[in-house]
Amino acid sequence: MALSMLRSGLLFLCLTTIHTCNGGGQNCMDKHQVVGVLRQMEKFLKGQEMRFTEGLRIMKSKLATLQNSVSKLPQADQSAAPSVCPSLEAPVHGTKFGSKYFISHEVHFTCSHGYHLVGPGTRVCQENGSWSGVNTICKDVSECSSNPCQNGGTCVEGVNQYKCTCPQSWSGSSCQHQTQTAPPEWSVMNDPAFSRRPRCAKVDRAQHCSCDAGFHMSGTSDNSICQDVNECEVYRLDQGGKLCVYECVNVPGSYQCSCPRGYKLLPDGRSCEDVDECLTQQHNCSRGTTCINTGGGFQCVSPECPRSHGNISYVKTSPL
């Protein structure tokens, strides 16, 4: 269509030129010359048309070949690169953190109290659509694995706990005490005020004895005695925290806290506070001196002004 329009335009141009020359007396090509030019232009345009047509044919052929090659690609390539991993469930007695299963996303696992994690705590969604690591499970913690029972005791598993079955001559949560005998450092054995007879009563022909609060029973079943529990030693040995900030003093059935000289016991019964001897007038500073409170005591000071120097002199205006 474009080539045909070009031909028509050239022909119109030439005819118009011939008409103008004939009418104006100008030196123009004759009719045969114009026809020759037109034939040359027609040959040129036909050559261009052939080249254009051949180019279109080659391009169409290449497009068809490319389309045929693409259509022959295996469809499995699309599934070879999945974008998500299969869903994961939380282990029994455990919790899962993370709900996205896309490539490079992580899922984390923890176990409930009394269970420990077997397997990875974190799994990552890999590029091949599978999770890293192996399946995670929560396994019951063996309370007896650390052999907590002493002196031949047998450990019995429980739910998040254990119990020691002790031989006849041993007692305690870990079979650590001999029967009716407590550790000697818990008691004051050489002071009669720290021991007393137990209260006993017969029940169903059997004698049952008990001690007051702050005492424990020692000795044999026929000759038992209530010994004072040294709370200061018990808490120190068990590393459960100090009863007193400064010093713990054991008394029969209880304990008391004391403070060093120059300090007083606070209402909580265990903490100490410095006594301000200067504020409470508990000092012996002489007239002309000043009382300065210190930790646990006080000092009497008599500050002096510096000596006059040149035209500079000092006047004492306060005790300090």
Q: Would the pLDDT of 112 be above 70?
A: yes
CA dihedral in degrees (148, 151, 157, 163; nearest 10)?
Answer: -90
Query: What percent of the chain stands above pLDDT 70?
Result: 77
Contact 218, 224 (CB under 8 A): yes
Distance (Å, rounded) from C-alpha 315 to C-alpha 320? 12
Q: Write the CA distances from 60 to 2, 70, 249, integer angstroms.
A: 20, 15, 107
Please state whether the predicted TM-score (pTM) of the whole model is above 0.75.
no
CB 112: neighbour CB atoms within 10 A?
A: 12
Average pLDDT, the chain: 77
Tell me the pLDDT tens digit for each residue of 121-131. Answer: 899 999 888 99
pLDDT at 272: 92
pLDDT at 160: 64
Burial class (CB in 10 A: 0-12, 13-18, 19+), 96: middle
If you average pLDDT over residues 21-40, what whole number do you get? Answer: 70
Task: Tell me the pLDDT band of 308, cut-offs 50, 70 and 90.
Answer: confident
Q: How many CB atoms lie within 10 A of CB 134?
A: 10
Could you report the per-residue pLDDT of 222-254, keeping only the tens digit for each? Answer: 678 888 888 888 776 555 567 888 888 888 888
Q: How far is CA 137 from the centre of its chain?
A: 21
- List strand residue ranges (DSSP E) for 22-159, in order: 94-97, 106-111, 115-118, 122-124, 137-140, 154-158
Q: Which domains does the chain have, with CATH numbers?
A: 2-54 (no CATH), 94-140 (2.10.70.10), 181-274 (no CATH), 281-306 (no CATH)
Instruction: Dig out the tokens for 315 from the structure.
Output: 């006047």
Buried-state track 286-316, b at ≥16 Cβ within 10 A, e below 16: eeeeebebeeeebeeeeeeeeeeeeeeeeee
